Amino acid sequence: MSRVAYLGLGSNLGNRAAHLQRAIDRLAAAPGVTVVAVSAIYETDPVGGPEQGPFLNAVVAVDTDLAPRALLTLAHELEADAQRVRVEHWGPRTLDVDVLIVGDETVAEPDLVVPHPRLWERGFVLAPLRDVAPALVDAPAGGWPGVRRVADPPTVSSPGEPS
Ligand code: GSY
């Protein structure tokens, strides 16, 4: 049975906007996944890790019957497609895809925790999540520090349309 899942996208290496757009297009083309909403694009100060450049972040809402584990596999495929190389833990990356929420399902496994355990403390997730799921997130007065809306939601290509 399908339900809505939320995936967080982040990039701070190379053509950041292009990495997010390609990930969204590939999500839209993935079997078993329908993109139902995409947030605006936010430029965000890096949280954690070494000194590194700012991220672009977005959240995508998908209607899917894929299990959380299958969504994680898809997330890793999107990261590999962006030629992400894991050089430095929490360091700069072409693309990061996090499984944030999958309906009301919970998972607690070593490599997969759903809902994402740091979701509610990260402005770079909460600001875009609020765009696509306003009932889930209250906005603090003045917004989230270090989080700037920089672009309207990217367009989503129809399945089968060349990207
Ligand atoms: O967990 C996502 C990767 N990531 C990010 C991110 O996407 N945005 C910001 N602003 N900081 C981050 N630190 C990590 S790790």
CATH number at residue 88: 3.30.70.560
Q: How confident is the model at residue 24, as a pLDDT?
A: 98
Ligand 1 atom nearest residue 57's Cα: 7
pLDDT digits (tens, 9 = 90+) for 7-50: 999 999 999 999 999 999 999 999 999 999 999 999 999 999 88
Give a yes or no: residue 80 inside a domain: yes
Query: Active-site residue 93, yes or no?
Result: yes
Q: Which of 59, 61, 2 is nearest to 32 (CA)?
A: 2
- Please tell me whether the overall predicted TM-score, pTM, comes out greater than 0.85 for this model: yes
The structural domain count of the chain equals 1
Residue ranges of alpha helices (H) inside the chain are 16-29, 68-81, 123-132
Ligand 1 center from residue 161 Cα (angstroms): 30
Give a yes or no: residue 35 inside a domain: yes
State whether the beta carbon of 10 lies less than 6 angstroms from ligand 1: yes
Give a yes or no: residue 110 inside a domain: yes
Give a yes or no: residue 156 inside a domain: no
Give a yes or no: residue 160 inside a domain: no
User: Is the bond leading into 68 cis (omega within 30 degrees of zero)?
Assistant: no
Question: Locate tokens 């297009």: which residue?
Answer: 25
pLDDT digits (tens, 9 = 90+) for 108-125: 999 999 999 999 999 999
Question: Locate tokens 């989080």: which residue?
Answer: 147
Give a yes or no: residue 127 inside a domain: yes
Give a yes or no: residue 161 inside a domain: no
Give a yes or no: residue 107 inside a domain: yes
**Phi/psi class of residue 105: alpha, beta or left (left: φ > 0; alpha: ψ in -120 to 50)?**
beta
Active-site hit among 96, 122, 130, 131: 96
Q: Which domain holds residue 127?
A: 3-151
